[in-house]
Structures are given as structure tokens and as C-alpha cells.
Structure 1
Amino acid sequence: MPTPSAERPLPLREADLAACRTLLKTGSRSFFAAAHFLPYHCRDAATALYAFCRQADDAVDESGAPAEALGVLHERLDALYDGTPQNYPADRALAAVAQRRGLPKALLEALLEGFAWDAEGRCYEDLEGVLSYSARVAGAVGVMMAVLMGERDADVLARAADMGVAMQLTNISRDVGEDARNGRLYLPRAWLREAGIDPQAFLAAPAHSEGLAEVLARLLAIAATLYRRADSGLTRLPSRCRPGMYAARLLYSAIGEQLAERGYDAVSRRTVVPGLGKLQRLLSLGRMPWLSDADLAAPVLAENHFLVEAVNAHPGPRVSSLLESEGRISWVLERWAELDERARMPARAAISASGARRA
């Protein structure tokens, strides 16, 4: 069954959403910050999706028996799409969201397949392998977000998948040291050998080097290209969804920028964008490319093609009209007022501290 049965409408309960919001707040600061800019219809749907994905990821990573955990997750997914979700807030919330938005099951199955590749310790020899993995664990999420916003146009979905893959390449670059210490390596092994790095030796003793910096710069350059292509898709989203998605794009691409400023050293310590840096990037939302669509019709990335086809194969409702409601201008002004207030807080704190020292 591609989407949950509509024979019996499933309720979207506030208690379930509240539990999902807790997972969002504690699980991803960048996503939590970006979600603040989404309208309520999309924010709740995205929160339900994130909660299920977060629980699935944690179940595979922390169970000690990933194959069994994946079996349980597939059972949960089957029940969710049968309209009888298991007793988890995230499952109940996502079942209702998927039914209302026509979210294809194949997209969530792609995500679980990516988790299965992790569980089996799959190696990635070339860039195509890394992109195939990224399509499953992140490109699928980008496409699902677009569907939740009511977008089913193939070009827009292709750009949403680009954005997800770009984010995953950013994560891979940032986490290379941490992943290696946990016995995982997501960089193309052929690239490492070209840079004079033996993959197995790196896994045994991860260390920063000029060669590793070259590999990370190369991977982040591909991410930057995909981010730019994704920008054109953002212009086609419902207008009230654009700031939230562009915020996510800015916050994630900032990780790569910060890593570059540190000489691409992703081994010595984890790269984190400071709070003030995040705020500065969010303030640039006023410069988002509202009208640019130069890359919109670029061919879908080969590794993402099956994601776009999954949506095309199962037409669903367009819910954009839910998001184009009255009060759009006032909503935007409210968000800007909040940002302005936060921007003033560090300055106020500095003035207060200065006054205290003089006293």
C-alpha cells in the first residue's frame, strides 16, 4: 500500500505532536531552528516525520542488534501504512500526516535501506556509492519534506533531493573523524588513496592531513553545487515554507564554511557553528533567491531518480493552498521581529556587562 488507507481518517493528536517536538528539540538544533520558520501546517508534519526518522536511526545505532531493529522498524512502517500504527507517538502522528499528505511509503523504505547499509558496514569505493547512500538517508528526507509541503512537481522534487544529499555530504565531511573512531568511513575510498591515504590505516588511527583536507574540500565543493541547485527549487515551494527550508540550507552549508575556515580539520574536534554565527546567517533570509530558477530544470541526480519516481507513481493531494492563507505578510513580519529581538540580545548583554565593570 503506497500511502496510508484513507478509509478511516486518522487523528493527529496534540499529545503525540508534543512528544515529537521534544525529540526535535533535543535531537537536532539546526533542524529545530529551521522549523521555527515553517508555518504550523508544515511544522507539525515535519516534526512528525523527524521524530520517526530520529527514532529509527537511534534504534539501529543503539540496539546492538541492527538487523533485528530494522525488522521491527519495517513492521512499524507496515502498520503505519495499514492505518493501524503501533503504540508510539511518532508512528501515530506520522500515520495521520502521511495519510493527509499522500506520502509514499517507498520514501521511508529508502531511508530504512540506507540504515541497513550502515548496519552491514557497506564500503563506498567511489563518489557514486557515497551519493547512493546519501540519496537514501537524506535525499529521501528532502523529497518527503517537499511532499509534506504539497509539492509533487518532478523538478522541485529533484532539487529537494539535491538539498538532502548536499546536507549529507556536509555531515560526512564534518563527522569524518568521529565516524572513523566508530569504525565507519563514508568518504570515497578511491579519493583517499589518490590523496595518499590508506583507508584502513585511517580507520585504525584517524588523523588530519593535507591529503584529507583535499578530499574534504573536494566533497564540500560538490555539496556547494547541490546547494545552489537546490536554491532554485526553494523558489517553487509555497511562499510561507521558503524561509524555513532556506534557513535549513543556510545552517547546514554554514557547517562546511566553518570547516573550510578551520583548514578542513574534521578529526581534531567537531566543527560547530556558534550561536551568533547561526543568527547572522538566519538574518540573511532577506536575501534568499526568491525569483532565481536557473537550475530548476537541471537533470535529476542519477542516484536520486528513484525517489522522484516514487512520488510520480503515487499521485497525492497538493496542499499548497493550506499554506497560502491570509495573514502571510503579518506572519513574515512576526518572524523578522523575533530575529531582530534576538540579534539585539548580545549587544544588550555586552552593554550591561560593560556598565557592570565600570561600576
Structure 2
Amino acid sequence: MGYDYAIVHLKYTIPPAILLSALYFPLHTRLDTYKLAFLITIAVLSTIPWDSYLIRTNIWSYPASVIIGPKLFDIPLEEVFFFVVQTWNTTLLYLLCSKATLHPVHLAREKKGDSWKWVKLVGQVGLGLVIKKSADWISEGKERTYLGLILAWACPFLFLLWSLAYQLLVNLPWTTTWLPIVVPTLYLWVVDSLALKRGTWVINSGTKTGIHVPGFGLELEEAVFFALTNCLIVFGLVAFDNAVAVLNIFPAHFPEVPALPSPALLIRALLLPAAAYDEDRMLGLQQSVDRLKRKSRSFYLASGTFSGRLRIDLVLLYSFCRVADDLIDNAQSSTEARDWVQKLRNYLELSYSAPMKGGDGSLRHARDRNQGVATHYAVQNFPQDAVLTLMLLPTERLNPEPLFELLKGFEMDLEFSQTGPSRDTPYSTPIRTESDLDIYGARVAGTVALLCIQLVLHHYPGASEQEAKRLMTAGHDMGIALQYTNIARDLAVDAANGRSYVPPPWLKKEKLTSESLLSALTSGKPDDDFLSRKIETMRSRLLDRSFLFYERSVGAIEELPSPARAPMRVAVESYMQIARELRTPGYRVKAGRATVPKWKRIAVAWKALMGPAKRRDGA
């Protein structure tokens, strides 16, 4: 009886497990628990027969003086625990590396003549040849026996997983796949080298090649073993995520998806032919993700904490808002911009002209027919890169009123462009009072926040009508808070476009006018420190208003369905951090806007994931 192997765990495998568990805890979901349990069960059940055979045939052994004693099929319990802890550590590292990845955007529809079938075949042939060679080495019964047994055990599993998930294995970023393989492998090479030197486990010299890995002093077979086991874990995780991605992005094939899909459902998803994938949905989602990466870093960061079909719907909704905003902002004239607003309104009217609910076939047929009309209208009237975003807007899960209110907000923006500061015409603004600014914020941002809450309540039903109303009201107010922050941040950028959202009564109190404010902001530098202080006074007042709406609505986040609470905190706090930065002297400015350093955005998101703070104001 001894404790050497147990000490290996205490010193080398359990500490990383604790660290990775602590790091991932705020991001953890029920699906992650399911994934971990699924992978660990498969790892243990698939390894025990093989490991037991190696011990019984004396290919490797554990001296009685290094193990506590209890065994399972001749395998020391410390070794069984190793199967568990290695899978745990590699899985958590994979989950950390892949959390921000939206896996459905890395799928691809396969067509005749493309290269995917060759990618799949090359991998299969390569693994098949390795399996054949390993069988030869085992039959020889010489110094390559142990290496052959490792390859013959691992490669059939890799062959199966490659055949099922080759698209994601090729398309995912290397940080999602190779990093979680290489880092644990190198670490375990060091640990194993130390354990072999101490005699914690022993490899029979008659069945090993005697080749060592340079720099580690490690047996070649052990190096291959750890590399392949980590490949097995990551390949298995990618196959799991491939199945979930297929389930989430293709409602036509899988109308209902439980929070924890059964193994049978996962297999059905993996076996869905890639030729049957909906290319429009995949391309539209890819375009939406690219749009968010470019134009809304805060929301993109927050979106990674949502999961499943809710995350996809939120990305599509936000992409629609960005497309609509860009069409209007990039218009060459006020007339063209108003034409875009009208076209967006026409599209929404066509989309919502069909019944939104109804179980019989005739209603569904009417809805599909009218949606087809809306799609045709989008193709005929919108730029190519906007069409799929319009088509994929989840209108069947969204009430139409907030979307039409959003268009009214865009129309308020257009009132700035009818006249402007000049010698001959007075400056015109739709924002004449503080109430007007509240209305504007409600239309351009409160509506979007309200729609987000609608999607949350759709995907996680159970709230009463009264609760839902209260949550949507709070979401609406939070949207106004975020818009006030946006206006405070973009004073100079908006001024360059001839817009001042500061209510004239606020300016009058500081003995300013909209014209003088715009002139100061567009000059690049205010004329004097006195004027600069007045501009900061206006910015501070906007931020006060932002935090007023924030404080009266932030508590409602904790009343949301539990899977959406932490992600919604991240979404809100990531943006409100901009307001806090604006209250910090010497804040960072990029392209005329205050920005939050990346490390701080991550820190804020982390804090939000850990739970609600007692107070998150701008003090």
C-alpha cells in the first residue's frame, strides 16, 4: 500500500481541475453539465476494458507500494480517477476556449463537386491506414505492441467522430480545437515523465519501442497515448456541439429541441446529411455574426453568454436593427433615407400580414404564403447583404408594435436633416424637451430591449401575464438607459452628422444653443476650457438620466428565467461600463467615441456573471 499515485493527483491533476472549475463556474449551464457527464461516462466505459487488458497482459503495471489498494477490473482506483479528471480538465478548457463561438456558423451545406467529400475521405483513409498498421504491430507481438494497442483502441473512435463532425473539426478556430488538445497534452507529458521516473507506473520493456520524446525524456507510447486521449475528448466535444448546432439552427428539421437533448436526438442530428442543410439560414447567421463583430463589440461579447436558439434569435434581431440603421444612416439624401424607412415598414407589414398563431394547416399555409411574398419583396428592394437578415428576423416570436415603433425612431432622426445650422435657416431638432428625448430613447432602444425580453420569455416560458408585463416594462426602461449612454458617448460623432440630442432647455440653462454646441463639437476642440466644461456638463446630465433609468429597471434582471439572468447582466453591464468610463477623467477615445479596454470589458462581464452587485451605479 502506498500513496505515490494519489500524490500525483493531489499535486498535478486536481489543482488544474479546481482552477478550471473556478474559471468556468460563472459560465456553466445545464447543457455543460450534461456534456461533462456524457463525455466522462463514455471515457470511463471505453477505457476500462482496454486498460484492464493491458494490466492483465503485463504490458504495464502499478507496483503495490505506489497505490492505495482498491481496484476495478484490476485497474487501481487512482487510474480510474485519472480517466475522470483528464476528461474533466480537457473538457473545461475546451468549454472556456469555445464559449464565444457560435457553432452553427461553422457548418456548411455540401453540394455536388465541392471539396467536403474529399476532406472527409482523406481523414477516413488516413485513420483507416493507421488502424491497419496498428493491427500489424499487435500481431507481431514485438516492441511495437504497446504502440499498436494504443492506436488500435483510439483510432476507431477518432474515425467515427471524424466521420460525424469533420466540418466543425476543420472550420472551427484553432483556439477552439487545437489549443485544448495541445495544452493538456504537453502538461501531461511533463507529469507522466515525472511519474515514470518515480516508478509510479511501469511499462514492460519487451513491448515498447524504447524511443523517447526529446526534451521530455518520455516514452513515445506514453506521449502518443496522452495526445490521442485528448484528441478523443475534444473530437467528442466537437461532435456533441455539432449535433447541438444542427438542432438549433434547423427548426424545419427539428421543430422542438429540449434543453437537454437525448443521445438518440443528438445522433439523429449528426446523421442529418449536410446536403439537407438550409444554406440561407447558415449564411444569414454568418453575416449577422460578422456584422456584430464589426459594429457592436459589447453586444457580441454578451451574446456569447446566451445559448441555444435564444442566442441565435438575439443575434438575428440585433443584426436586423443594425441593417436598418445602416440603410438609413448611409443614405445619400433625406429622401432616400425616408424611402428605406418606408420599405422596411412595407416588409414588416407583409411579414405580419399572415396569422402569427394557429394550429391548423390552412393558417400555417397562409402564413408561409405571405412570408414568401415578404421574402420576394426583400429580394426586389433591398441590398443583397441585407436580404437574409430580413428573411431570418424571427417575426413569429416577436410582437410587431415595437418594430414599427423602432421605425418611428428612425424617422425622428431624419427630422434633423431637413434643415440645419446655417446663416439663412434656423437649426431644427425633433428633441425639444426632455420628454422628447425619452420618447426617442424608447423608440430606438427601448423597443429593442423589449423585443429581447420577448424572446427570452418565449424560449423560457412560465411567467404569468403580469410578470411578463413587468419584465417588458423594465426592459423598455433599460433600453432607454442604454440609449442615454449612447448619446453621451457620441456627442461629437452625432454633431458631425448635424445632430444634437441635448434638449434645448438644458442648453439654455448653460447659455448655449444647439448651434453653438454643434459648432464647438465639430471644431475638433472647444474654443476654451469654459465651453469644454459646459459640454462635459451636458454629457454628465445625459449620464445622470441614463443611471436614473438603469437604477429603476436593473433589479428586474433577477426576475428573468434563471438561464437568462447572468447573460442579461453581461449585456447590460458591458454597455453601462461605457457610461462609467465617461465619468472617469482621461477616458479612452477612439474614432471620436469613448471606448472600454478589452481587458476591462472581460472583467466587467466576469463580474456580471458572478451575480448582481449591491450597487452598479456611476458613482
Please indicate, yes or no, whether the TM-score normalized by the shorter chain is above 0.5: yes
Within 1, Cα distance between the matches of 2:599 and 2:612? 23
Please report how far the alpha carbon of residue 218 of structure 1 lies from its aligned counterpart in structure 2 after TM superposition.
Answer: 1.8
Partner of residue 399, structure 2 = 104
Within 2, Cα distance between the matches of 1:159 and 1:13? 32
- Deviation string 1:128-181 (CA, Å, 9 cap, x unpaired) is 110000000000001000001116611111110111000000000000011112
Bigger mean CA deviation after superposition, 81-90 or 256-265: 256-265
Partner of residue 201, structure 1 = 516
Tell me which of 151, 162, 172 is aligned to 2:487. 172
Please report how far the alpha carbon of residue 270 of structure 1 lies from its aligned counterpart in structure 2 after TM superposition.
Answer: 1.9
Within 1, Cα distance between the matches of 2:605 and 2:337? 37
- Deviation string 1:97-152 (CA, Å, 9 cap, x unpaired) is 221x2x11111000011001111224312211100000000000010000011166
Partner of residue 577, structure 2 = 254
SS at match of 1:289: coil
Partner of residue 150, structure 1 = 457
Tell me which of 281, 304, 309 is aligned to 1:36. 304
Within 1, Cα distance between the matches of 2:588 and 2:545? 18
Partner of residue 17, structure 1 = 285
Tell me which of 52, 55, 60 is aligned to 2:328. 60
- Deviation string 1:5-48 (CA, Å, 9 cap, x unpaired) is xxxx9x99333222222222222111100111112221111111
Partner of residue 313, structure 2 = 45
Partner of residue 330, structure 1 = none
Partner of residue 345, structure 2 = 74
SS at match of 1:240: helix
1:212 equivalent to 2:535? Answer yes
Matched residue type, 1:160: G
Please report how far the alpha carbon of residue 247 of structure 1 lies from its aligned counterpart in structure 2 after TM superposition.
Answer: 0.8
Kindly indicate whether the alpha-carbon contact (under 8 Å) linking 1:177 and 1:267 is maintained by their aligned counterparts in 2.
Answer: no
Tell me which of 129, 132, 136 is aligned to 2:443. 136
1:90 equivalent to 2:389? Answer yes
Indicate the structure (1 or 2) with the bigger Cα radius of gyration.
Answer: 2
- Deviation string 1:203-237 (CA, Å, 9 cap, x unpaired) is 13323622222222122112112222222211121
Q: Larger RCO: Structure 1 or Structure 2 (Cα < 8 Å, ≥ 6 residues apart)?
A: 1
Within 2, Cα distance between the matches of 1:48 and 1:37? 16
Partner of residue 294, structure 2 = 26
Within 1, Cα distance between the matches of 2:588 and 2:307? 37
Instruction: Show the 5 A alignment for 1:162-311.
Output: 162-206=477-521, 207=526, 209-262=532-585, 269-289=592-612
Kindly indicate whether the alpha-carbon contact (under 8 Å) linking 1:196 and 1:211 is maintained by their aligned counterparts in 2.
Answer: no
Q: Where does structure 2 lack aligned partners over 5 or more consecutive residues?
A: 1-254, 256-277, 354-370, 380-386, 417-428, 459-464, 615-619
RMSD of aligned Cα (Å): 2.4
Q: Where does structure 1 lack aligned partners over 5 or more consecutive residues?
A: 1-8, 293-359
Kindly indicate whether the alpha-carbon contact (under 8 Å) linking 1:173 and 1:266 is maintained by their aligned counterparts in 2.
Answer: no
TM-score normalised by structure 1 residue count: 0.72
Within 1, Cα distance between the matches of 2:586 and 2:392? 43
Percentage of matched positions with identical amino acids: 30
Within 1, Cα distance between the matches of 2:347 and 2:609? 41
Matched residue type, 1:90: T
- Deviation string 1:268-309 (CA, Å, 9 cap, x unpaired) is 94210110111111121244339x9xxxxxxxxxxxxxxxxx
Partner of residue 347, structure 1 = none
Bigger mean CA deviation after superposition, 76-85 or 170-179: 76-85
Kindly indicate whether the alpha-carbon contact (under 8 Å) linking 1:135 and 1:165 is maintained by their aligned counterparts in 2.
Answer: yes
Partner of residue 124, structure 1 = 431
Within 1, Cα distance between the matches of 2:401 and 2:453? 15
Matched residue type, 1:180: A
Q: How many residues align?
A: 278
Distance 1:52 1:269, change over 3 A: closer
SS at match of 1:216: helix
